[in-house]
Amino acid sequence: MDYSVTKMQLPSPAKLNLFLHITGRREDGYHELQTLFQFIDLCDTLDFSLTRNDQVTISPIIEELPTEDNLIYKAAKLLTPFKKDATFGIDITLTKQLPMGGGIGGGSSNAATTLLALNVLWECHLSLEKLAELGVQLGADIPVFVMGFAAFAEGVGEKLQKVELDTPYFLLIKPNCHVSTGQIFTDKYLTRDTPPIRISHALKLGGHNDCLDVVKKHNPEVNEAYLWLKNHGDAKLTGTGACLFLAFDNLHDAERVRSFTPKKWQSWVCRGCNTSPTHAALNQWIEQNRGVPHRQHYLSQSFLG
């Protein structure tokens, strides 16, 4: 086993909310919800280099985001008490592809990828459940990225039941706007009393996104893109963000519709995934650099193989 390997590169995928029902509001202001999470193979990339200077550095610097407010930095700091060696530090380089403010979980995914990587590089030896428990302090979407499986989620999004979903191709569109989650969740017209459904209903019949009308009201660009995409099928909004998506049975049809998507919007064709690409890559890294017994230790979920 080669413990001298100090570098790791992992993909950090986006997610879609295939539906999002808001079923209530708690006394602490958080919303109770039900949703179906599925990953897509559109990813950022994170490169990790272990250091011995006890520092967490992130590049490139995002001018509008102080390092201390970056979820990647916050995730690394959460693991600091669990490091095997107090002198361990980390240099992290983010190659960004996922749009910010799109409702596809880019920041949460980056934070979860950081937790997973540093749990290994810093030899923290925490279970996925413990990492998810830590991660939810930073964001309700982080646990699903940590656990790494498509899920029916309840609570604030942290209560997860693994599901096996179809894996269609998706056309993903992002209008040229940034949607504020806080603005959406504090809007007085947001529906907060959708009746809860059973997981069997969710898997068979799906649902809707309670945030759609409020997002369209505050963001005319989203409304315009929604009306355009709706001409081609069952257009949906993911999360509280700006991104809209449409599922296709085959790659050809998805690419065809993308080919005449207005150029003023960003667009991608991607594939649904029931297992996070982060977990697949981390499994491979651990097998190559630590050995199978250590893969089973760090990633103790049977669905990872």
pLDDT digits (tens, 9 = 90+) for 69-86: 999 999 999 999 999 999
pLDDT digits (tens, 9 = 90+) for 191-237: 999 999 999 999 999 999 999 999 999 999 999 999 999 999 999 99
Find all residues with CB under 8 Å of 274, minimum gap 6, and list them: 38, 39, 149, 150, 163, 164, 165, 167
pLDDT at 2 over 50: no
Find all residues with CB under 8 Å of 141, minimum gap 6, and list them: 15, 37, 105, 108, 109, 157, 239
pLDDT at 299 over 90: no
Of 210, 196, 208, whose CA–CA distance to 236 is shortest? 208
Q: From residue 188, how far is each of 15, 184, 240 by CA, in Å? A: 27, 9, 15
Of 109, 111, 126, 106, whose CA–CA distance to 77 is shortest? 111
* pLDDT confidence tier of residue 181, bands split at 50, 70 and 90: confident
pLDDT at 5 over 90: no
pTM: 0.93
Element (H, E) at 26: none
Of 159, 121, 133, 168, whose CA–CA distance to 272 is shortest? 168
pLDDT of residue 298: 54
Query: What average pLDDT does the chain have?
Result: 92
What three-state secondary structure class fits 239? coil
Residue-level length of the chain: 305
* pLDDT confidence tier of residue 241, bands split at 50, 70 and 90: confident
Asked about 174 being catalytic, the answer comes back as: no
pLDDT of residue 266: 97
**d(Cα 130, Cα 127) in Å, to the nearest integer?**
5
Question: Each residue of 239-272: b (16+ CB within 10 Å) or e?
Answer: bbbbbbbbbbeeeebbeebbeebeeebebbbbeb
The percentage of residues in the chain with a pLDDT greater than 90, rounded to a whole number, is 84
Which member of 15, 74, 174, 236 is catalytic?
Answer: 15
* pLDDT confidence tier of residue 301, bands split at 50, 70 and 90: very low
pLDDT at 294 over 60: no
- Enter the tokens of residue 9: 């590169």
pLDDT at 180 over 90: no
Q: From residue 191, how far is each of 33, 101, 217 by CA, in Å? A: 11, 21, 14
pLDDT digits (tens, 9 = 90+) for 25-68: 887 777 899 999 999 999 999 999 999 999 999 999 887 888 89
Q: Taking residues 112-135, what's their average pLDDT?
A: 96
Query: For strand 151-154 and strand 266-273, is the pairing parallel, antiparallel, or unpaired?
Result: unpaired
pLDDT of residue 295: 52
Q: Taking residues 261-266, what's their average pLDDT?
A: 97
Of 15-29, 155-169, 209-223, the least confident: 15-29
* pLDDT confidence tier of residue 302, bands split at 50, 70 and 90: very low
pLDDT digits (tens, 9 = 90+) for 84-103: 999 999 999 999 999 988 99
Which member of 141, 174, 210, 236 is catalytic?
Answer: 141
**Please, are residues 34 and 65 in contact by the beta-carbon 8 Å criterion?**
no
pLDDT of residue 56: 97
Asked about 162 being catalytic, the answer comes back as: no
* pLDDT confidence tier of residue 304, bands split at 50, 70 and 90: very low
Of 92, 238, 244, 80, whose CA–CA distance to 173 is shortest? 244
